[in-house]
Amino acid sequence: MKEYFGKKIFGGIAIGKISFYSKNQNVVVRKKTEDSEGEIARYEAAREKAIEQLHGLYEKALKEVGEMNAEIFEVHAMMLEDDDYNDSVKNIITSQKVNAEYAVGVTGDNFSEMFANMEDDYFKARSADVKDISERVISILCGKTSDSDIGDEPVIVVADDLAPSETVQMDKTKLLAFVTKFGSSNSHTAILARTMGIPALIGVDIDEEWNGKTGIIDGFEGKLIVEPDEAAMNDYVKKQEAAKEQKKLLQSLKGKDTVTKSGKQIKLYANIGNPSDLAAVVQNDAAGIGLFRSEFLYLEASDYPTEDEQLKAYKQVAETMAGKKVIIRTLDIGADKQADYFNLEKEENPAMGYRAIRICLTREEVFKTQLRALYRASAYGNIAIMYPMITSVDEVRRIKEISKQVREELVATGVEIGEVEEGIMIETPAAAIISDLLAKEVDFFSIGTNDLTQYTLAIDRQNSKLDEFYNPHHEAILRMIKMVIDNAHKEGIWAGICGELGADTELTERFVEMGIDELSVSPACVLPIRKIVRDMD
């Protein structure tokens, strides 16, 4: 019996056979050909098929793990439509008179190296994406399938790394857990694991000799046991049963209030990225929706979504929640969330660039179209509006001017609108520090801890090299959250958390002690958080 440790991604106990997952490595051979037009036609056909596959993966991921996690496949499809990439492939085929496989391989290597050498971490991350799409096209040219077959029995998948496409394609009924050598806790694959509720570890020094052996994953302690002895096996069988019982216990909390023993009531809401996530919200008994990411409407479209198209989505969510609060965040596009028709220029530091409310305030007609749809939808349920990436009082006052104008125009034309709370996200240090001033202008605060942590610590949360420095429990973050809550209460408004930290059970009690009014988490985290709150004195 041997024990190995890694970074835990999702808790839980998994016991089963280890299956070492090896990627299909395409061996590309350089072949001379005089039929350049034929090779270009082969490439175009393979490229179209790859785009079709990626759209299929997007739809599959959309149903299984939600819109935010499915976005990567849309990004890959867009990369295959990039003129520079396609021109390079065709130029190599015609100028060197070589086969399409070789041209795609060379182009993939060249572009991957180009991205890897860039200073900006966002573009560095695109290096792996270019390799992934190039391998997909080469596989199609070689007549290979891209299915991620893990066999007929449930297994613990062990791999050097897993691309999001590979994770999504695996049969979830056969996937007990996964362990990888590489990857980041903020990678797309790690997020997929949390969304699907699969125990997972990263940063484990893996060995192909484990293939076929019995393994145990302890997702709570970040531990992998290979060939456990009888005592360890018995111990973990009991722990697994206890975890199942705990899950049953949590189900018994449905329909009960999220309130401490001393009577402190917490609004426990859910985060969603698409109306398709509503089933999980209802199933896990969330009291409302604390963050509805409206940008999915823009990312899925080939042109700006119309007012009526947006109304349909917002109305569906409002009606389904039947009077429960639905907080819809206005368009938060930019940075790593791109839509071609916005024609956003590439930026050296996109996380701090032209995004979110900065786009809305400089493209007012786009903003007004969304506001009109939101106010119209408010007649069908309990809708609140939340504005992201705020840094100043002037921004909030400008938003209020625009929203007032939109409301007055709607009322003047006889459109019915409901009572709408309007709040802002506190996700920049600037907003946190002046939260006493901002609280005078809005109905509520929702603290976006993902970006707040990133900006406060000056650490790119997508950069795996910085994982050891990325500390969301940093005292500076917690003091900032406390300050925001206090400033909100002084002005008589409520404050919540909608970032990943809201679901961190190690901090739930501290947040309640700080006086937090609301926590918005992924649907699967609602009942575990409710239990902690109800057990508090």
Distance of CA 85 to the CA centre of its chain: 27
**In the block, residue with structure tokens 């429960």:** 324
**Mind listing the pLDDT tens digit for each residue in 198-220?**
888 988 998 888 999 999 999 88
Q: Which two tokens stand for residue 299?
A: 């990312």
**Mind listing the pLDDT tens digit for each residue in 113-158?**
887 777 665 566 677 788 888 988 998 898 876 556 677 789 999 9
Active site residues: 188, 498
Rg (CA), the chain: 25
**Mind listing the pLDDT tens digit for each residue in 392-441?**
999 999 999 999 999 999 999 999 999 999 999 999 999 999 999 999 99
Residue 335 has pLDDT above 60, yes or no: no
Distance of CA 516 to the CA centre of its chain: 24
Which residues have C-beta within 8 Å of that of residue 67, sequence separation ≥ 6? Answer: 273, 274, 276, 277, 293, 296, 299, 300
Helix residue spans in 3-80 (DSSP H): 36-65, 67-79
Is residue 534 a known part of a binding site?
Answer: no
**CA-CA distance, 526 to 519, in Å (whole number)?**
9
Which residues have C-beta within 8 Å of that of residue 77, sequence separation ≥ 6? Answer: 51, 54, 55, 58
Is residue 450 a known part of a binding site?
Answer: yes
Under the banding of pLDDT at 50, 70 and 90, the label for residue 191 is low
Percentage of the chain beyond pLDDT 90 is 53
Q: Is 521 helix (H, G, I), strand (E, B) or coil?
A: strand
Residue 68 has pLDDT above 70, yes or no: no
Which residues have C-beta within 8 Å of that of residue 491, sequence separation ≥ 6? Answer: 436, 439, 440
Query: Which H or E element spans position 217?
Result: strand 214-218
Is residue 194 a known part of a binding site?
Answer: no
Q: Which two tokens stand for residue 15?
A: 């016991």
The residues with which 16 forms a beta bridge, in sequence order, are: 215
Q: What are the chain's domains?
A: 2-23+148-231 (3.50.30.10), 36-141 (1.10.274.10), 250-535 (3.20.20.60)
Residue 91 has pLDDT above 90, yes or no: yes
**CA-CA distance, 273 to 296, in Å (whole number)?**
7
Least confident of 21-30, 276-285, 451-460, 479-488: 21-30
Is residue 486 a known part of a binding site?
Answer: no
Q: Determine the residue type at 225.
A: I
Is residue 427 a known part of a binding site?
Answer: yes
